[in-house]
């Protein structure tokens, strides 16, 4: 676990920054058969390194995996947004979201490049919006020829968010991190995210658990 110690040591140099937040994330794929599965996801996003809830995201959906490896998903998400240091117990803004996505991948030697295309229909209180997202993510195993049990790997992605309207650009997320495949159905990821919304960029530490039944 030397990579974990190194990551936490390097992170400590920026922990004092007030603009550094953290995301605690869980992703699950619950298999039904060779084609169908259920997607489950929870993300607890904080304004600061210490728990100060910014956003709670709960998302689920139904996956269909084609024989050629393409994955098609449709589902629902509930998102609650909280103001920084608010005295209110509940969220200030609640969003209901319907989403559809397609995932495909290319392989270059040891590297895997995953493409994720997502379309969202969003009900934010009384306002309705739509949004298009594209994420290109590179996975690269460090100590094995492919990602298998015991593999440490790099994960790097960039995701752009676009929406119809006067302001087409919604946001961009740039991420880099390290993952570890602990078991055939369990992976851990630690990473660093830069999110740009308009002219503002914020930093987040990410801690992820991936569990496939």
- What tens digit of pLDDT does each residue of 87-140 get? 777 799 999 999 999 999 999 999 999 999 999 999 999 999 999 999 999 999
Tens-digit pLDDT string for the chain (213 aa): 555 445 444 544 444 445 899 999 999 999 999 999 999 999 999 999 988 899 999 999 999 999 999 999 999 999 999 998 777 777 999 999 999 999 999 999 999 999 999 999 999 999 999 999 999 999 999 999 999 999 999 999 999 999 998 789 999 999 999 999 999 999 999 999 999 999 899 999 999 999 998
Residue 32: strand pairing partners: none
Residue length of the chain:
213
Taking every pair of Cα atoms in the chain, the longest distance, rounded to a whole number of angstroms, is 53
Q: Which residue ranges make up each domain of the chain?
A: 20-212
pLDDT at 19: 80
Residue 17: strand pairing partners: none
Q: Are 135 and 159 in contact (CB under 8 A)?
A: yes
Q: Are strands 200-212 and 20-31 parallel, antiparallel or unpaired?
A: parallel
- With a CB cutoff of 8 Å and minimum separation 6, the contacts of 44 are 23, 24, 25, 53, 56
d(CA 37, CA 25): 19
pLDDT at 84: 87
Q: Which of 139, 192, 194, 204 is nearest to 172 (CA)?
A: 194
CA dihedral 108→110→115→116, nearest 10 degrees, is 170
Residue 43: strand pairing partners: 25, 57
The radius of gyration computed from the CA coordinates of the chain, to the nearest angstrom, equals 18
| Reported CATH class of domain 20-212 | mainly beta
- With a CB cutoff of 8 Å and minimum separation 6, the contacts of 137 are 113, 114, 116, 155, 156, 157
Token pair for 56: 């709670």
Q: Sign (positive/negative) of CA torsion 186, 192, 16, 90?
A: negative
- The residue assigned the tokens 């922990």 is 15
């Amino acid at each position: 676990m030397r990579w974990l110690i190194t990551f936490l040591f390097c992170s400590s140099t920026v922990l004092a920054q007030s603009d550094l937040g953290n995301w605690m994330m869980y992703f699950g794929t619950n298999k039904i058969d060779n084609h169908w599965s259920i997607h489950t996801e929870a993300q607890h996003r904080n304004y600061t390194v210490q728990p100060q809830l910014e956003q709670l995201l709960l998302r689920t959906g139904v996956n269909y995996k084609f024989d050629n490896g393409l994955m098609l998903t449709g589902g629902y998400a509930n998102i609650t947004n909280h103001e920084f240091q608010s005295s209110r117990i509940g969220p200030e803004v609640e969003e209901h979201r319907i989403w559809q996505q397609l995932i495909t991948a290319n392989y270059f030697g040891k590297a895997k490049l995953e493409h994720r295309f997502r379309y969202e229909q969003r009900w934010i209180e009384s306002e309705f919006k739509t949004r298009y997202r594209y994420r290109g993510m590179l996975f690269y195993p460090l100590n094995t020829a492919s990602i298998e049990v015991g593999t440490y790997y790099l994960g790097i992605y960039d995701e752009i968010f676009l929406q119809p309207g006067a302001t087409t650009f919604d946001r961009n997320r740039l991420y880099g991190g390290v993952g570890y495949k602990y078991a055939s159905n369990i992976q851990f990821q630690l990473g660093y995210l830069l999110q740009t919304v308009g002219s503002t960029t914020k930093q987040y530490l990410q801690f992820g658990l991936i569990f496939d039944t």
